[in-house]
Structure 1
Amino acid sequence: MKVIQFAYNEKPEDVRVGYIIEDTIIDVNKADTSLSTSLLQILKDGDFDKVKKITPLSHLPTVPRSEVTLKAPITGQDKVLCIDMNYLDHYTEQKIEPPEVPIAFAKFTSCIIGPEDVVRLKTNVTTKVDWEVELCLVIGKTAQDVRAEDAYKYVLGFTVAQDITARDWQKKLNGGQFLLGKAMDTFCPIGPCITTIDEIGDPENLEIFCSVNGILKQKSNTKQLVHKIPALIERLSSVITLLPGDIILTGTPGGLGMYRNPPEYLRPGDVIRSEIEKIGVLTTRVQEF
């Protein structure tokens, strides 16, 4: 199931929950009016099993993709956690050794935008903004002190994310501390959907790509992950209680702008195309703020 949040074009503020099959939207809220119109609240209510029972039968309300606007597939969560430098090819391009333990940092939930929103660049504040395509997992139920072998029981599914990063703020302008370089407004596009874990297959064997203005920048596979997803959940849940709707960005492959010769950075007018096998394509436009 490819779960989405969306709004009808004529009611852009009325966000609803659905899922998508090719170019057709199934309106979950019309099919079962007892369900919340927020995916986060559905998870908190323990009602996602009701969503799974809404199968694409002919009597269900369907909507053409052209009649809706896709929103971020989940919003309002407690935490946005990220893993730094977690792909083997990323270390290869820097000619350094991977760390023994995963390095975690956070963004604000206010950074999250959806598939049809724009990254807003303050070019008077930062001039070195980079792309980072990432596989992003979504926590489905409360997870505390989870063992690695049980980790996937707590995962709702996966989406595509961009860990947009202002390198000048990440590296120098905030004393080497990541937060302000990572958490500027709109710096966490996610979408277009959440592919549920039962349909994703092996999340550690998915092709992953990023292009900017049609030019391929990143190409890898999630089998390159240094610290695997179950280990990440075990480590994080040992110190932080993961709540329904929390997301974890699992790291980015090689091919970043800062390591190119000469370095390349995003500019207003750019279009970022992020794609992960079995999930879909997240297209993000960049505008001056």
Structure 2
Amino acid sequence: MRIANLSGRLSLIVDGLAVDVEQASGGRFAADPQAVYDHWAEFRGWVDQAADLPEGTAFAAADLGAPAPGPRQVVAAGLNYRDHAAEAGLALPDEMPPVFTKFVSSITGPVSEVELPHGGHTDWEVELVLVIGTRAHRVSKDAAWSHVAGLTVGQDLSERIIQLAGPAPQFSLGKSYPGFAPMGPWLVTPDEFEDPDDLELQCSVNGEQMQKSRTSELIFPVPELIARLSAVLPLLPGDVVFTGTPAGVGLGRSPQKWLAAGDELVTSIEGIGELRQRFTD
């Protein structure tokens, strides 16, 4: 199943066309894309039993928003790929990856224009992003996937100067400028993948590939990451979890490389789709 936020309305994507959920369900489910996660089990049951969905309509990618536009929590993992830790010159995490947040106001859809911070060093970070479907607190690795509504593509855009400024780094601020958390193009439920723990992810700037890896290279794969996070804090329905980025970021290059006005960043994950961000001064 693929669900999308189309012009602010919850939609099912069926054979490449959009079906409005509020209309198709006779008002049983609200149009608000974020609200569905509080009723995820009921919604999945309705979709599984719906035999006569209305015909969908065509849509433009630019009309899609983030599939979870207003989560209560955004949790992001750092240094969750060995090659990225190596390029950053940092030790591998042991019990838990470094954890930070991206503030909700940074969330945007899959096709967007992002204003670069003045005088900053803005970097790219392709990431697999998951959305929680049912509350997860102190869950085991074996049970973790049952709490995931689905997967989407994300970019953890990062302004490195403020992120790394001392005496204490400002990770969350440096990663939360407007537009710095694009997600989409839609949410894909785990059952759609042959192996949801092994997906190719990549990104390019102006057609030049910058990152390419597989989620099977995660130090803390999705089930383990959920288990470790939920041992500390409850993950709530609709919460968003960024799982980390592989090597190839601008910070780790020699010479270092940053996004500039006019650049186009294309980010994709196998079996989900792609994001497109264009940058302006």
Fold match (TM-score > 0.5):
yes
1:201 aligns with 2:202: no
Match of 1:2 in 2: 2
Q: 1:192 aligns with which of 174, 185, 189?
A: 185
Q: SS in structure 2 opposite 1:136?
A: strand
Q: Which amino acid aligns with 2:94?
A: E
| Cα separation, 2, equivalents of 1:174 and 1:70 | 40
Cα RMSD, aligned residues only: 2.0
Count of aligned residue pairs for this structure pair? 278
Alignment check: 8 A CA contact 1:116 1:284 kept: yes
1:258 aligns with 2:251: yes
Structure 1 gaps of 5+ residues are: 8-14
Alignment check: 8 A CA contact 1:111 1:185 kept: yes
**1:146-185, aligned counterparts within 5 Å?**
146-172=139-165, 175-185=168-178
Instruction: Spell out structure 1 runs of 4+ moving beyond 6 A.
Output: none
Bigger mean CA offset, 67-76 vs 154-163:
67-76
| Cα separation, 2, equivalents of 1:132 and 1:70 | 21
Bigger mean CA offset, 158-167 vs 40-49:
40-49
Match of 2:77 in 1: 83
When normalised by structure 1's length, the TM-score is 0.90
Q: Deviations over 1:206-257 (max 9, x none)?
A: 1110001111000111111011211111111111111111011000010000
| Cα separation, 2, equivalents of 1:29 and 1:258 | 44
Bigger mean CA offset, 20-29 vs 272-281:
20-29
Match of 1:52 in 2: 47
Alignment check: 8 A CA contact 1:31 1:54 kept: no
Match of 1:12 in 2: none
Q: Which amino acid aligns with 2:100?
A: F
Deviation at 1:117, TM superposition (A): 2.6
| Cα separation, 2, equivalents of 1:149 and 1:86 | 20
Q: Which amino acid aligns with 1:38?
A: D
**1:11-90, aligned counterparts within 5 Å?**
15-32=8-25, 33-46=27-40, 47-53=42-48, 57=52, 60-66=54-60, 69-90=63-84
When normalised by structure 2's length, the TM-score is 0.92
Structure 2 gaps of 5+ residues are: none
Deviation at 1:25, TM superposition (A): 1.5
1:247 aligns with 2:273: no
Q: Deviations over 1:131-186 (max 9, x none)?
A: 00000011001111111111111000100000000111111267323122112222
Alignment check: 8 A CA contact 1:31 1:61 kept: no
Identity %: 37
1:67/1:120 CA distance change after superposition, 3 Å: closer
